[in-house]
Each structure stands twice: as structure tokens, then as C-alpha cells.
A = this chain, B = another copy of it.
Amino acid sequence: MGWFKRDNNSAKVNVDALFLGPKSENQGFFTNTLNFLMEEHIQWRRDFHPDDKPAVSLEEQDEQLYKDTLRRTKETLLELSGKLKTTSMPWFSPRYLGHMNSDTLMAANLAYMATILYNPNNCAFEASPATTGLEIQAGKQLCTMLGFDANKGWGHITSGGHVANYEAFWVARNLKSFPMAVKAVLPNLVKGLDDWQLLNLPVSKVLDLVDKVKAANKFDEVRALSARGVGMSKENLGVLLVPQSRHYSWAKAADILGIGTDNLINVQVKDNYRMDVNVLKATIDKFIATKTPILGVVAVVGTTEEGAVDEVHEIAKLRDEYEKQGISFYFHIDGAYGGYARAIFLDENDKFMDMHKMKHRWHEEGIIHKDIDWPPIDVYEAYKAFSEADSITVDPHKMGYVPYAAGAVVMKDRRILDLISYFAAYVFEKGNDPMLLGSYILEGSKAGATAAAVWASHEVIPLNITGYGRIIGRSITGAQRFYMSLKAEPAFEVNGKKYIVHPLTKPDFNIVDFAFNAVGNTDLAKMDDLNEKLYELSSYNSGPVYANDWITSKTSLATDAYGDAPASFVAVLGIPKEQWDKQKSVYVLRSCVLSPWLIKNTTYNEYWGTFLKIMQEKIGKIVKG
């Protein structure tokens, strides 16, 4: 597709060259390219009807008020720059291991900046002839990465993972209500099926019905009788099952879509923070017994707090088994966080690799260090089974290393589009599909610059082992090393007192949760207090982070979200079970290791040494009070 002779699938990227870098290592390239792009735009304006007179003469530019206004603009921007420098988080540095942030790609940042002055709006093709195409292309690239057929699937950019999840559930809701609407208008098409069967048609069968209804020229009429038209008041569309480790965006989704949070059912997680598939099965059985339909099931790939990867393959298997029994549900993967990691499993032809061959390549090519034992078989199988889902949320602004705000949702079967599509006379003309994005998505106006940023990133960095796989590999290596270092660390002394540190669990992905405790302390509240104070000293709470040596985030793991999963972790830190049973929550530090710099031995060792020293100093400060 590209302009230049380059082969996206075999060229390998050098990850070092992709970021501005913690010491602005690539500042020369960055600045030169930015200036070139700006000059291109400036001249583009001048070349549009070159003989048109300027709107502002040089004489007018000499007026005092004119100069005052420019000065005022500059002052405001300097004030902004000052504010940004005072309190912004140094995502770029390996000293920041907190939220899902890191340096972002030069390709993405420069593409965004190059596009901003053209200001395309991807709501309508007419307002974005260049960038709507880039969004469609980026959507197809995501389809392929996530295991869907790019010609049958559909993907687009959203403002974030929240909106992507909303859109998937919106589809699920309207889809679930469609067969009953067919019964009302074209009963012959669903002859012999009772209401329960209609509420349990597999997704593909509902979409076949959509085709038949269209062929009978009754689509608008039927669609108006689905949840879209009649609202959520008529039918009981059932319950949405999500892992207990749930992200709050699902509760918002259930609320917003009129499903109600009462119909959002949490399924218990196991000790490894993955949804317990046996409990999922029991939950489904319980609802079926009361003739409550299952509207949808969500698997999370990369939970926000632990990076746990739900067993997608097991859930897919379960879905297939239920379908044989006449029970069906919509299956969505929330891969907002972990979705991009599928790139590391794909060879240069975007084929999912055999485990053994894959690991061999990773080690040979330095993508993941030999000393790292990853992935667990269930994580491997989970990523492999992505293609079994009906839709997937994936955020370019997380593991895509693209700046905010860039989420995405990808659907396996593009026929779902008409369940949620709308047309406005002035923007859309039927038939021009699929270039009229605003009519097929939850949002309307949207920055073409975001699409340009995502597209440019995908062009430079193929979504497989040659490109993104190499960034992901660095992140995984850094995280797993951090986990191993924490696990191996013996008790250490601060001011004559001994302390230990322990990681929560071996990460499925790249989040490492951990906690410190004083040796001999058996009081959970005291342990929490220590870690809370450590967080305070490692965050904006103790003053400007720019002056901080090490910055992290934190979370609380409580029984309402995790059952007794954290009990064994607390035990390793020397806290008796009674304490856990009483308090039912534990405070942990949380490091998302997105940094691409912790793969080099020298860099890793430097930062691990620094980390230990800093944490000991911080404990020293806390103890002194």
C-alpha cells in the first residue's frame, strides 16, 4: 500500500529508534521531521490559489493590538508549558513504573502534529477525504492482528476503551432483541422457534436473519421493533457476565445502555486473578434454570489491576458447548490493555505461531530474553482463541504506544453494522459504505489526526513479530524481570530493622503488583500503612514528581472484587489468615511495565539497583516518621 518500496512484513524495526527517548536521544530526527512537516503545511496554504490576496497585510501586522494579541498567545503558551513541566508525569523514564504509560511513538506524535493543521473530521468522508481511509485501513490492520478476517470484519477508532466497550454492548443488545422483532413482522422467517429459542440464537444466525429481512425489504420495520426502537422496556434481554475483577466501565455501560447494573453479574476470579470458568458455567446454568437469557459474556485480556489474562479459549469452548444445547450469548473480549500483545504471537505473515517455534525465534532474535519463562500455556491459548470472539476492544493509546485519546473496537462480522447505523441527510448517503464513519459508530465528530497517528504507527511498526512484537517483548521482559527480582530479593535492613518485599503473582502480562512488610509484622493494617506511605512518597502526593526518584501507582485488592484470591499473597508476607478474614482487603503497589528500555542488561541492572536503594531510603524516611 505504501508510497515507498518497503516490505512491511519482513523489515524489522529497531525499537530504540521509535521513541524520542528518555534523554531525548532522537531529538535531531524529531525536530527536523516536525519542521519539515510544518513547512509542508504552510506552503500548502500558500499554494492554494497563489494569487488570492493575503487576508492580513504586512501593514496590519504592524498594528499594536496585533502584536499584543500575538504576545498574549505566546504568554499563554509559555504559562501552559510551565504548568506541564511542573507537574507532568515523566512517563518516558524507566523511573516511572506506575500506570499504563510510557513514552509514545515518534511516528504517532509526528503524524498527529502533521495532521492537526489540516483538521480533518472522520465523522464524514467529505470532511476527511484523506484520513477516513486511514482509519478504515487501521481498522483492518487491527482485525488481522486480532485474528479476524479483515474483509469480513470491521474495526474503527474510538475515543477510548470505555466507548469501545459501550459500542460492543450496544451491538450485543440490539442483536439480542432482533429475532423477537422478526417474529412480529415476518413470523415465517422464524417459524417453529419459541421465544426462548429466539433469545438464544447464535450471533451468526441472527446476522443471517438480518440478511433475510433485508432481502424481504422489511429491515427498517424490523429494526424499529428491536431494542433500538422500543427501548429496553419490552423484553428481558438477560444478563451480562463479567469477571469480578471488573473494570468500572462495564457498570457504566450497563447503566448507560438501559440494561441496568442489576443485570451485570460478576463472576468470581481464581487465585491467579483470571475469571473462574467453572463458576462462569455454574452461573450460566443458574440463569438458564430461571429462563433468564445470557446477553453476553466478557473476557478480559489484561485486567487493569493485575494484567490477568482470562482464559478466552475455555470460554469459547463453553460457548460452543452451550450452543449445542440451544443456549447462546454474545462473546466480547475487553483487550483494551492487552490486545496489542497479540502481535508477538504472529509471524511475518500474520500467522499465529507454534509455541515452540515462536519461543525459539523470540530468544534467537532477542525479542524476549532467554531467561524469561513466558507465556504460560493458558495465556498462549487465550491469545490464540481471540478469533472466537464476536468483538474485541483494543486501545492504541495503551500498548499501541499512541498518544491519547485512541481506543478501538473490532467486530468479527461487519454485518452487525446495520444494527446500530444511522444516517443524517447532510452527512451521509447510503451506498457510500464504509467511508461514512459517523453513521456506524457511537460517536460523531472525531479527529482525523488520531486515525493518522494510529495508521502511521501501524505502517512503521507491523502488527506482528517484526514490529509491535518487538516492543511488547521488551515490555514483557522488563515486567517479568522485575517480578523475578522482587521474588528473589532477600530480606534487607533499614535502620536496623528487616523488611521483605514480595510480588502478588507471576504476571500473565506486564503488570507487577507487590508489597513490602516489616519482618515479624503480623498486622495487616500496619503492612498496608507502610505500603500506603511508600506510595505517597512515590507519587504526586509528596510534591512535584519531577523531583522524585521513582514513581509508581497503587491499588487495593478487596474481597468484593477478588474473593479470597489475595489471601495466599498476604500469607507469604507473614500475615496470618485471620487478619485477611477480618480486613478483607490489601493495599499493594502496582507497576505497569510498559517501558521499552528494561530489556538491556545494563539498563535493567542500573534501574533495579536504583529502585532498591530508593525504596530503602523511603522506608527509612517512613520509619523515622
A66 to chain B, nearest CB (A): 5
Say yes or no for A395: interface residue by CB 8 A criterion. yes
B162 pairs with A444, CB closer than 8 A? yes
Given A72-B6, A81-B37, A113-B113, the answer on whether A257 and B258 have CB atoms closer than 8 Å is yes
Residues of B within 8 A of A540 (CB): 126, 129
Say yes or no for A495: interface residue by CB 8 A criterion. no
Say yes or no for A27: interface residue by CB 8 A criterion. yes
How far is A340 from B555 in the complex, measured between Cα atoms in Å? 41
Residues of B within 8 A of A78 (CB): 3
Residues of B within 8 A of A75 (CB): 2-4, 6
Closest to A259 in B: B231
Stretch at the interface among A138-146, A192-200, A210-218, A244-252: A244-252
Given A85-B44, A99-B127, the answer on whether A55 and B16 have CB atoms closer than 8 Å is yes
One digit per residue, 1 when the CB lies within 8 angstroms of any chain B CB and 0 when it does not, for chain A 88-115 equals: 1111111100110100101101111111
A311 to chain B, nearest CB (A): 23
B14 pairs with A68, CB closer than 8 A? yes
Q: Which of A124-168 contact B (CB under 8 A)?
A: 124, 126-127, 129-131, 133-134, 159-163, 166
How far is A82 from B130 in the complex, measured between Cα atoms in Å? 10
How far is A404 from B80 in the complex, measured between Cα atoms in Å? 20
Among candidates B40, B230, B422, residue contacting A252 with C-beta atoms closer than 8 Å: B422
Say yes or no for A46: interface residue by CB 8 A criterion. yes
Q: Which of A285-315 contact B (CB under 8 A)?
A: 304-305
How far is A114 from B261 in the complex, measured between Cα atoms in Å? 40
Residue among A21, A45, A104, A602 with the highest chain B CB neighbour number at 10 A: A45
Residues of B within 8 A of A20 (CB): 42, 45, 117
Residues of B within 8 A of A66 (CB): 14, 16-17
Say yes or no for A73: interface residue by CB 8 A criterion. yes
A254 to chain B, nearest CB (A): 8
Q: How many copies does the complex hold?
A: 2
A463 to chain B, nearest CB (A): 14
Stretch at the interface among A272-280, A448-456, A514-522, A570-578: A448-456
A84 to chain B, nearest CB (A): 5
Residues of B within 8 A of A23 (CB): 45-46, 52-55
Residues of B within 8 A of A305 (CB): 425-426
A65 pairs with B159, CB closer than 8 A? no
Say yes or no for A563: interface residue by CB 8 A criterion. no
Residues of B within 8 A of A107 (CB): 73, 76-77
Residues of B within 8 A of A525 (CB): none
Stretch at the interface among A28-36, A182-190, A501-509: A28-36
A597 pairs with B445, CB closer than 8 A? no
A84 pairs with B115, CB closer than 8 A? yes
Stretch at the interface among A56-64, A368-376, A380-388: A56-64
Among candidates B38, B76, B446, residue contacting A459 with C-beta atoms closer than 8 Å: B76
How far is A248 from B614 in the complex, measured between Cα atoms in Å? 56
Stretch at the interface among A221-229, A325-333, A352-360, A485-493: A221-229
Say yes or no for A74: interface residue by CB 8 A criterion. yes
Given A126-B539, A404-B448, A553-B126, the answer on whether A247 and B424 have CB atoms closer than 8 Å is yes
Say yes or no for A566: interface residue by CB 8 A criterion. no
How far is A327 from B305 in the complex, measured between Cα atoms in Å? 47
A553 pairs with B3, CB closer than 8 A? no
Among candidates B27, B33, B395, residue contacting A74 with C-beta atoms closer than 8 Å: B33
One digit per residue, 1 when the CB lies within 8 angstroms of any chain B CB and 0 when it does not, for chain A 550-587 equals: 00011110100100000000000000000000000000
How far is A4 from B561 in the complex, measured between Cα atoms in Å? 49
Given A252-B442, A260-B231, A590-B426, the answer on whether A130 and B88 have CB atoms closer than 8 Å is yes
Among candidates B24, B445, B600, residue contacting A404 with C-beta atoms closer than 8 Å: B445
A354 to chain B, nearest CB (A): 26
A256 pairs with B256, CB closer than 8 A? yes
Say yes or no for A263: interface residue by CB 8 A criterion. yes
A230 pairs with B262, CB closer than 8 A? yes
How far is A93 from B445 in the complex, measured between Cα atoms in Å? 21
How far is A283 from B17 in the complex, measured between Cα atoms in Å? 64
B52 pairs with A445, CB closer than 8 A? no
B120 pairs with A89, CB closer than 8 A? yes
Residue among A18, A89, A555, A561 with the highest chain B CB neighbour number at 10 A: A89
Say yes or no for A13: interface residue by CB 8 A criterion. yes
How far is A233 from B34 in the complex, measured between Cα atoms in Å? 54
Residue among A81, A113, A161, A540 with the highest chain B CB neighbour number at 10 A: A81
A288 to chain B, nearest CB (A): 20
A290 to chain B, nearest CB (A): 16
A205 to chain B, nearest CB (A): 23
Given A46-B24, A73-B18, the answer on whether A445 and B407 have CB atoms closer than 8 Å is yes
How far is A403 from B29 in the complex, measured between Cα atoms in Å? 26
B82 pairs with A460, CB closer than 8 A? no
One digit per residue, 1 when the CB lies within 8 angstroms of any chain B CB and 0 when it does not, for chain A 167-179 equals: 0001001100000
Among candidates B11, B63, B230, B263, residue contacting A72 with C-beta atoms closer than 8 Å: B11
Closest to A61 in B: B25
Residues of B within 8 A of A79 (CB): 2-4, 459
B260 pairs with A257, CB closer than 8 A? no
Among candidates B39, B134, B252, residue contacting A83 with C-beta atoms closer than 8 Å: B134
Given A49-B93, A161-B445, A256-B257, 7 more A-B residue pairs with CB atoms under 8 Å apart are A3-B82, A4-B75, A45-B93, A77-B110, A227-B255, A256-B256, A258-B259
- What are some 14 contacts across the A-B interface (CB < 8 A)? A6-B72, A16-B55, A27-B42, A73-B107, A99-B127, A109-B116, A119-B403, A162-B443, A228-B261, A231-B259, A248-B439, A252-B422, A258-B259, A425-B555
| Pairs of residues from A and B, 5 with the lowest C-beta to C-beta distance, nearest first | A258-B258, A231-B260, A232-B258, A87-B129, A162-B444
